Each structure stands twice: as structure tokens, then as C-alpha cells.
């Protein structure tokens, strides 16, 4: 790194990045009360969408003939 150069990216990969991300979320949940509501609403919406998609594709599975094997039509 050169003098005066800012570090634009933190070199965290794999599980280390996941631990840091989870830590940031926990700190935000503890220290920012408004973030708690945002987090709860976001998780609720995500769970609702996941449940809808799960039951939709459970009752209406994708048929092999509906899948386009070459969607970009590159020959």
C-alpha cells in the first residue's frame, strides 16, 4: 500500500466475512432501536416470500419441457 492510499476493500473471504457481517448486524440491532423494526419487517417479508414460493412450486412444479436449455440462443 502506498502512503496516502485508502484501503477500498477489506480482504475478508468465506466464513470470516460471514462472521463480520453477522457481528455488524448484531451491533446495529443492539445500538440502533429503529434498525430492530427494519430488520424484523425485512425478515418477515423474506419469510413470507419464501413460503409463498415454496408452496407455489410444491403444487405447480416446473416441467422439463418448460425449461429452455439454451436461453440465449447461442449456437
pLDDT tens for residues 35-56?
999 999 999 999 999 999 999 9
Q: What is the mean pLDDT of the chain?
A: 84
* Dihedral angle over CA of 12, 15, 18, 20, nearest 10: -60
Which long-range CB contacts under 8 A does 52-57 form with residues at least 24 apart? none
Compute the distance between CA of residue 12 and CA of residue 24 in angstroms, rounded to an integer: 14
pTM tops 0.75, yes or no: no
When mean pLDDT is compared across 3-7, 25-29, 43-47, the lowest value belongs to 3-7
* Dihedral angle over CA of 53, 56, 60, 66, nearest 10: -30
* Number of alpha helices (DSSP H) and beta strands (DSSP E) in the chain: 2, 0
Amino acid at each position: 500500500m502506498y502512503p496516502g492510499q485508502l484501503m477500498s476493500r477489506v480482504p475478508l473471504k468465506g466464513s470470516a466475512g460471514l462472521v463480520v457481517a453477522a457481528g455488524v448486524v448484531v451491533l446495529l440491532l443492539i445500538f440502533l432501536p429503529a434498525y430492530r423494526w427494519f430488520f424484523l419487517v425485512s425478515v418477515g417479508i423474506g419469510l413470507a416470500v419464501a413460503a409463498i414460493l415454496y408452496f407455489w412450486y410444491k403444487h405447480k412444479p416446473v416441467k422439463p419441457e418448460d425449461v429452455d436449455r439454451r436461453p440465449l440462443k447461442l449456437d
